[in-house]
Structure 1
Amino acid sequence: MDLENIQPYYFGDISCWSERTEVHKAASLGQASHLQHLIQCGASVNIVAVDSITPLHEACLRGQAQCARLLLDAGAQVTTSHGEAGNSDCVKLLIAEGACLEAYDLYYGTPLHVACANQHTRCVKELLNAGAKVNAARLHQTALHHAAKSAQVELIDTLVDFGANIYARDKHNKKPVDYATPDSPAAACLRSHEAIPMSLQQLCRLAVRQKLGTRALKVVVQLQLPKLIISYLCYQ
């Protein structure tokens, strides 16, 4: 790797490249007490390794939610949530800290794409309920295309419930159903969604959620609506 041609990431006043530090290792291994000791001794929580990985990335990639919380409380800065889309507890933490739901990577797409490609249904639900755009596309490929490839019916239903376009075509002019194995439950599920129009009730929910965007969960509970309707709007 030619380090001379690499531009470091900047976190506030902190700009640093290094190999994996003790903070990285503790975060990755879930060694919360050791991590807390390192932080109390003044270790940087925003130090960036040569592959652009921070301790927060390490904690979230490994599903170490307690370590992620310690890092965030110590000032770890949230940049994206691409690699963190595998653990729902970590996703919740990052969303609460203001992680960009539409952070876009040219190779991976959005966090929603990553979660769907890796079949992390719980993370997909967290991202969508927080307001992630269900039809965001990379090379015209949507999260539903990824779900169709994964053959996960629950994942497909979740995306459709949040308004995924079952007719979206990618750069190869293929719809999601074209990626499902013929005669599989996933293919049958997609064909069913194509054949049966959305109910007026579902269309209304999608319209309200789209209007409210990322504020939906905070605003909906403040509306003068019956609890049953609020639960429906919050996908509970």
Structure 2
Amino acid sequence: MPEVPRGAPQMSRKRGAEPGPLPEHVAERKKACWGILTSQGSWADRSPLHEAASQGRLLALRTLLAQGYHTNIVTIDHVTPLHEACLSGHVACVRALINAGANVNAATIDGVTPLYNCCTSGSVGCMELLLQNGAHTHTACTHFPSALHEACKRGHSQCVESLLSHGVDPDHEISHLGSPLYMSCLHQHTACSKILLHRGARVNFGRGADSPLHAAVRQDNADQVSVLLDYGADVNSRDSNNQRPVELAPPGGKTQQLLLTFEVSPRSLCQLCRLQIRNLLGPSRLKLLPVLPLPSLLTHYLEYT
């Protein structure tokens, strides 16, 4: 049971006692993130500090902290006020909680961290504060939720960029989700795919036998398919049903035409060399391309800029 200071206002354990309904989009985010207890409507032991953080009421939050509320007070499913502030994207509240000693790596019973919630809300400001204060970009348990996968799923490209700039592996795999690139293709977020590929993500690394190209073709997303082909996607790869991407494309559509045209027009020697050089450098050294003694035109070509 969380510790509540003496004289502090009592918070009912019943959800009906909360001060007004949450906006629909906030409630939906919470429902998606916090597992079975929240999805069934139970916010047991939710404190006024949680409420203030969730609603961005900075003065109330500071007042409650001054009255003795513990910064890391948790609900029954281990949600902290910092989780709430990050999920709602309240930068000032996140800063205040961190300054008061909030655990930036606190995890719920489902393994959700404040960093993950930043990727749900798309708050780069909150994310940067967490990362600057020691937030871990990966959890020790591989089955726990991944912040990078969540950002790719939601299409928050700035969060993807921020995570990768802090050293997150662009090919970080979660067995039941696949690679981040596969996730961005599955949810049709081309901007996220471009960032991942630019940072060296393996273009053919998806989920099992299913490649990112298979996922993009199933969605009939020609723009996404074009980007993947430009970065070396294998049009001859086969999924778990032994089907090639072109066999999955809707007949007569732009995606099918794109694949058929590509199959009769092999990649140029320049393109093959670019792909080979990038593969040899690897993701961790691609950032060194600008310092190599190469003509700027060649550097830009290798960087896809």
Q: Percent identity over the alignment?
A: 37
Aligned length: 224
Offset at 1:106? 1.8
Q: Normalization by structure 2: what TM-score?
A: 0.70
Q: RCO greater where, 1 or 2, for CA within 8 Å and sep 6 or more? A: 1
CA distance in 2, matches of 1:175, 1:53: 36
1:186 partnered with 2:255:
yes
Partner of 1:126: 195
| Mapping of residues 178-217 of structure 1, within 5 Å | 178-217=247-286
CA distance in 1, matches of 2:105, 2:77: 11
RMSD: 1.8
Offset at 1:210? 0.6
CA distance in 2, matches of 1:29, 1:200: 49
Query: Partner amino acid for 1:109?
Result: G
Partner of 1:99: 168
Q: Deviations over 1:34-89 (max 9, x none)?
A: 11001101111110011111000000122111111111111110014222212111
Partner of 1:19: 78
Query: Partner amino acid for 2:124?
Result: A
Partner of 2:7: none
Query: Partner amino acid for 1:83?
Result: E
Q: Deviations over 1:196-234 (max 9, x none)?
A: 100111111101111101134322111222111111110
Change (3 A) 1:139 1:215: closer
Contact 2:122/2:159 (CA < 8 Å) preserved in 1? yes
CA distance in 2, matches of 1:205, 1:61: 35
Partner of 2:159: 90
Identify which of 90, 96, 101 aligns with 1:42.
101
Partner of 2:300: 231
Partner of 1:222: 291
SS in structure 1 opposite 2:270?
A: helix
Partner of 1:8: none
Identify which of 56, 59, 63 aligns with 2:118.
59
1:149 partnered with 2:208:
no
Gaps of 5+ in 2: 1-34, 38-73, 139-145
Partner of 1:10: none
Offset at 1:20? 2.2
Contact 2:181/2:206 (CA < 8 Å) preserved in 1? no
Contact 2:214/2:245 (CA < 8 Å) preserved in 1? yes
Gaps of 5+ in 1: 4-15
Q: Which protein shows a greater Rg?
A: 2
Offset at 1:93? 1.1
Contact 1:82/1:111 (CA < 8 Å) preserved in 2? yes
Offset at 1:2? 10
